[in-house]
Structure 1
């Protein structure tokens, strides 16, 4: 039995990412492979579908009965995230916050609060390279709910939008078991660079609460694994080259942790011969313009991996790898050079178990 769970980072959600045109998970896919060898033993449960405008898949190696309504439970977790953080739903929590007046408070869910806390940590540690208040710029460049015009944004308008950015304008407050959020400036949030990873974490936590510790969860290319695959071996996760005809660049063997990838080659537009990536640098207001083609981050949670993949993609190879080593992040970068691609890995990534392409049974996909 071979399972290939494949997706590309920044697919547009119909809430978090639009089905086409906005937020295509730019870059290569992360591919999960269950190698041949199914026979007698634990029950192999596979659940897949479409939520939040992207695909998801869950594989569970169950040595005890799983809930009969496991699929419904999984969809409920994904629906929670979509209803909370979709900028395409007028009644979502994030849409309510974006319409909120300055210095007014909004009561929010625990999910919304937790995602904002993750965003806050990565925003501060990355020096603003990760900027969740980038929503107006995303719309201005045509990668959000607003349809892109057949022209580039005016530089003066970009400069005006930059003045309105900054997660420091968002204030979080807890009172008992309730959470509140407010803004000191008229900022707007876009949490799509964290929310998909957070959705992966919710599903993974759901499985663990139901005594199902051997699993692979994937939502739109972001993954979290635990335990063993159906062959009793670590899960095989493949990093693909950022090319139109994807090929496996590296195969990882993981028994736990989360993996997220960000890149620039699947979601972009061209104007007068120039290419404009969907990944925006909130420090300049313009799409990134450097050699880094993709970055993969390994972390304990997928929300953190997701956010850091975006931050490092903005920063580029040199600045991003310097920070990754400083913070002890496990990072794998693929950069464009004249001769093709160049691989860079952080010090902690060097300790991750890797397989030869033959051992991983990887093929062109």
Structure 2
């Protein structure tokens, strides 16, 4: 029989043992990827070995996405399909690549082709892909020829086993969805390591889980779409949600005083030229937010807004008005805004 004094001693030892485990803190991991940077915050007690293991796993997850979906790597899975001479044969693909292509098809179908991963030949023609940037604007005949090779419905998908094919000489470009998928891939890895709270950000695309140690949700800035400077338009709070932004204010060039955005309208084959400067979308998966933000950006401030409201999409629009930037957001987005 254990006496009261020994029980008290055992309890004090147990409590003392617990005190050695540090309280959860925010730890940051950063590095280069996809031509930009990743910035990751994880909430956990201090453990140098575990942090090193997480960093190694994160880099492996991102390298796997790059090796599968990059058009800038000749040895990537996607580049091998793009180079294949006979695309009418089923080309077996990995599960992740099929997942991305399947989601891309869903967004393309929903948006009436405003998002289209087969736009690659036209993206390259305008100088926003691996091919060299042209010194002049493409000739109408050349543009029409390239545009004839575009069409998301020309790509066939087979789920078992995962494979793709086409009767057309397609060139796929996943730049408007693969980065979002990379964010999701890191989030999945952190989930597998039982990290309870995190913020994953790659080039402005974000996925979050849980809350910070003080109990607050993760706070993120929607950037004011101005070139040459960084300033905040609004702040949002995210918990178990992802956000992606598509805009025309970072990646563009000018020829004879005319500005050409990197976002190409698949219906016209030309860079977008409306008043919408940026659109941010919040969803459960970052790849979905990434693709949908691009689709809404192609549609423009009016058509895109009406589409987002109709489909209950959480979207925030910043467009150019007569006296500067103006904003509007869908009802589904309002709950994320911080006053």
Q: Distance in 2 between matches of 1:300 and 1:104?
A: 34
Q: Distance in 2 between matches of 1:61 and 1:102?
A: 46
CA RMSD of aligned residues (A): 1.4
Change (3 A) 1:212 1:106: same
Compare relative contact order (CA 8 Å, sep 6+) and give the higher one, 1 or 2: 1
Instruction: Report the equivalent of 2:213.
Output: 230
Residue 38 of structure 2 is aligned to residue 56 of structure 1: yes
Pick from 123, 138, 150 the counterpart of residue 123 of structure 2.
138
SS state at 1:193 partner: coil
Q: Distance in 1 between matches of 2:106 and 2:276?
A: 23
Q: Distance in 1 between matches of 2:296 and 2:255?
A: 26
Instruction: Report the equivalent of 1:21.
Output: none
Instruction: Report the equivalent of 2:243.
Output: 259
Higher helix share: 2
Instruction: Report the equivalent of 1:6.
Output: none
The superposition leaves residues 89-147 of structure 1 with CA deviations (integer Å, 9 ceiling, x where unpaired) of 11111111112213112111111000001100000011001010000001100111111
Instruction: Report the equivalent of 2:136.
Output: 151
Larger Rg: 2
Q: Distance in 1 between matches of 2:164 and 2:46?
A: 42
Residue 24 of structure 2 is aligned to residue 42 of structure 1: yes
The 5 A counterparts of 1:152-301 are: 152-175=137-160, 178-244=161-227, 245-301=229-285
Q: Could you tell me how far 1:43 is from its partner in structure 2? A: 3.5
The superposition leaves residues 2-34 of structure 1 with CA deviations (integer Å, 9 ceiling, x where unpaired) of xxxxxxxxxxxxxxxxxxxxxxxxxxxxxxxxx
Change (3 A) 1:181 1:271: same
Q: Distance in 2 between matches of 1:319 and 1:45?
A: 41
Long gaps (5+) in structure 1: 1-39, 357-365
Instruction: Report the equivalent of 1:115.
Output: 100
Instruction: Report the equivalent of 2:14.
Output: none
The superposition leaves residues 43-72 of structure 1 with CA deviations (integer Å, 9 ceiling, x where unpaired) of 432111001211001100115864651111
Q: Distance in 1 between matches of 2:35 and 2:231?
A: 25
SS state at 1:332 partner: strand
Q: Distance in 2 between matches of 1:355 and 1:329?
A: 18
Q: Is the CA contact 2:26–2:212 (under 8 Å) kept in the aligned structure 1?
A: no
Q: Distance in 1 between matches of 2:221 and 2:213?
A: 17
Pick from 60, 67, 77 the counterpart of residue 76 of structure 1.
60
Count of equivalent residues: 314
SS state at 2:97 partner: helix
The 5 A counterparts of 1:315-326 are: 315-326=299-310
Instruction: Report the equivalent of 1:302.
Output: 286
Q: Is the CA contact 2:309–2:330 (under 8 Å) kept in the aligned structure 1?
A: yes
Q: Could you tell me how far 1:174 is from its partner in structure 2? A: 2.8
Q: Distance in 2 between matches of 1:45 and 1:351?
A: 28
SS state at 1:134 partner: helix
Q: Distance in 1 between matches of 2:125 and 2:138?
A: 7
SS state at 1:192 partner: coil
Runs of 4+ residues deviating >6 angstroms: none
Q: Distance in 2 between matches of 1:246 and 1:200?
A: 22
Q: Distance in 2 between matches of 1:233 and 1:271?
A: 47
Q: Is the CA contact 2:248–2:263 (under 8 Å) kept in the aligned structure 1?
A: yes
TM-score normalised by structure 1 residue count: 0.83
SS state at 1:305 partner: helix
The superposition leaves residues 231-277 of structure 1 with CA deviations (integer Å, 9 ceiling, x where unpaired) of 32111111111113322111111222000001001111111111111
